[in-house]
Amino acid sequence: MTIIDTAEPFLLPGSRAGVLLIHGFTGAPKEMRQMGESLNAQGYTCLGIRLAGHATTPEDMIASRWTDWAASVEDGFHLLRGTTDRIFLAGLSMGGVLSLLMSARLDVAGVIAMSTPYTLPNDPRDFPVSVIRLYSRFVKFLPKTKDPPGSSWFDKEAYKEQVSYPQNPVRSIAELKLLLGEMRAALPLVKKPALLIHSKNDTYVLPENMEKIYAGLANASDKTKAYITGSSHVVTRDAARQQVFLLARDFIRRIEAAQG
């Protein structure tokens, strides 16, 4: 197994609370690297994990299951717990799904979910899991969008350095659908503070998803939603990324102060 160049996991030691950074579906730790560097500059220990089957080959992803992705998060949490006693989860897209799900299972200080889906879009992928699995035997990959690659990005130079699989593995879409069901069931169980961030310009996961997640967090001790503009789906890499980093920093600071 060879990890794609520049897509390796990363650990940035700091003197304050830990932040576990979780990338998205077909993505890589690189999606979260700049956010980690920004928070690390504020003193936070930041660990960017690689989800099972990602940043290597699409075949590796096809062989992985949603439980493997959840286990990747749990492993990262325990690794980070060895160096810090307070951990925030921060995830992008499917990483946000995993962050919300695992914040109901792990003893975290808070959770940041960015560009997070509540359901799959209403397109050919939105079939029952059994149908998607059967379909995957005949069609291994589907395009991510109908638009040209990178057309939704505001920062075209940043897109050129983006690392992700070029297409969505169909078999993995079935696993994502299962994972989304797990997250929706877990939302009322999330009792820790939560920050939701979404771009109004996101055409991949529409902003209405954030409203549904926010409503589902009925028992969170503190919940905040923040809309940004001037960014595509990958808010941690696109043009408005600094605004995202500041929102995350301010949220973590506020929760740390409240928790003492």
Indicate whether 125 pLDDT > 70. Answer: no
Residue 234, pLDDT score: 96
Decide if 5 is inside a domain: no
Question: What tokens appear for 16 in the block?
Answer: 């304050």
Strands 18-22 and 168-169, by their bridges, are unpaired
48 strand-pairing partners:
10, 21
**Region 12-31: what's the mean pLDDT?**
95
Supply the range of the domain harboring residue 236.
10-259
Count of CB atoms situated within 10 Å of the CB of 123:
10
Rg (C-alpha) for the chain, rounded Å, is 17
Residue 122, pLDDT score: 59
Residue range 104-113, pLDDT digits in tens: 999 999 999 9
Residue range 216-239, pLDDT digits in tens: 999 999 999 999 999 999 999 999
Percent of the chain with pLDDT over 70: 98
Decide if 2 is inside a domain: no
Decide if 198 is inside a domain: yes
Following CA atoms 22, 29, 172, 203 in sequence, which dihedral angle do they give, to the nearest 10 degrees? 80
Question: What tokens appear for 36 in the block?
Answer: 């980690």
Residue range 172-218, pLDDT digits in tens: 999 999 999 999 999 999 999 999 999 999 999 999 999 999 999 99
Residue 135, pLDDT score: 84
Please report how the helices 94-103 and 170-186 are oriented relative to each other, as an axis angle in degrees rounded to 10.
40
Residue range 142-182, pLDDT digits in tens: 888 878 888 899 999 999 999 999 989 999 999 999 999 99
**Region 108-131: what's the mean pLDDT?**
84
Sign of torsion over alpha carbons 181, 187, 189, 191: positive
Domain count within the chain: 1
**Region 11-29: what's the mean pLDDT?**
95
The b-or-e profile of 188-209 (16+ CB within 10 A means b, else e) is eebebbbbbbbbebbebbeeeb
Indicate whether 60 pLDDT > 70. Answer: yes
**Count of residues for the chain?**
260
Q: Residue 214: what are its φ and ψ, rounded to 5°? A: -60, -45
Decide if 41 is inside a domain: yes
Sign of torsion over alpha carbons 48, 15, 104, 67: positive
Decide if 35 is inside a domain: yes
Indicate whether 7 pLDDT > 60. Answer: yes
Burial class (CB in 10 A: 0-12, 13-18, 19+), 85: exposed
pTM above 0.85, yes or no: yes
Decide if 4 is inside a domain: no
Following CA atoms 256, 253, 37, 86 in sequence, which dihedral angle do they give, to the nearest 10 degrees? 0
Residue 124, pLDDT score: 46
**Region 95-101: what's the mean pLDDT?**
98
What CATH number should be reported for the domain holding residue 122?
A: 3.40.50.1820
Tell me, what DSSP letter sits at residue 187? G
Decide if 1 is inside a domain: no
Question: What tokens appear for 212 in the block?
Answer: 């549904």
The Cα–Cα gap between 63 and 213 comes to 29
